[in-house]
C-alpha cells in the first residue's frame, strides 16, 4: 500500500486498519473497522469510507453527542 494511492476520503476497512494499527502501535483488524463504519452508516457502495467521517463518529461516541 503506497502513500500515493491512499485518499483519506476513500479508504477500505483494510487500509484504515493498517493505518490505525501503525499509528497506535497495536493490533487493529479490518473487521473492527468495518463494524464501526457499518454502525456509523458511513460505508459507501464501493466499500470505502472517509477517515474524517470515521473519526467524527468516534468523537461523537466518546463525548456522548453526535459530531454531525
What is the maximal distance between C-alpha atoms in the chain?
36
Residue 22 is assigned to a structural domain of this protein? yes
User: Which has the closest alpha carbon to 28: 44, 15, 45?
Assistant: 15
Answer with the residue of higher pLDDT: 5 or 18: 18
pLDDT, mean of residues 22-49: 96
Residue 10 is assigned to a structural domain of this protein? yes
Predicted confidence band of residue 1 (pLDDT cuts 50, 70, 90):
low
| Ordered alpha helix ranges (H), the chain | 13-24, 30-40, 51-63
Q: pTM of the predicted model, to two decimals? A: 0.82
Residue 46 is assigned to a structural domain of this protein? yes
Residue 68 is assigned to a structural domain of this protein? no
pLDDT, mean of residues 8-26: 95
Work out how many domains the chain is built from and give that number. 1
What pLDDT sits at residue 64? 86
CB atoms within 10 A of CB 45: 5
What pLDDT sits at residue 4? 64
Which range marks the domain in which residue 20 is found?
3-63
Amino acid at each position: 500500500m503506497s502513500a500515493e494511492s491512499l485518499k483519506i476520503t476513500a479508504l477500505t476497512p483494510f487500509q484504515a486498519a493498517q493505518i490505525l494499527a501503525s499509528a497506535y502501535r497495536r493490533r487493529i483488524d479490518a473487521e473492527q473497522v468495518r463494524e464501526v463504519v457499518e454502525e456509523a452508516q458511513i460505508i459507501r457502495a464501493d466499500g470505502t469510507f472517509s477517515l474524517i467521517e470515521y473519526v467524527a463518529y468516534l468523537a461523537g461516541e466518546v463525548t456522548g453527542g453526535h459530531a454531525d
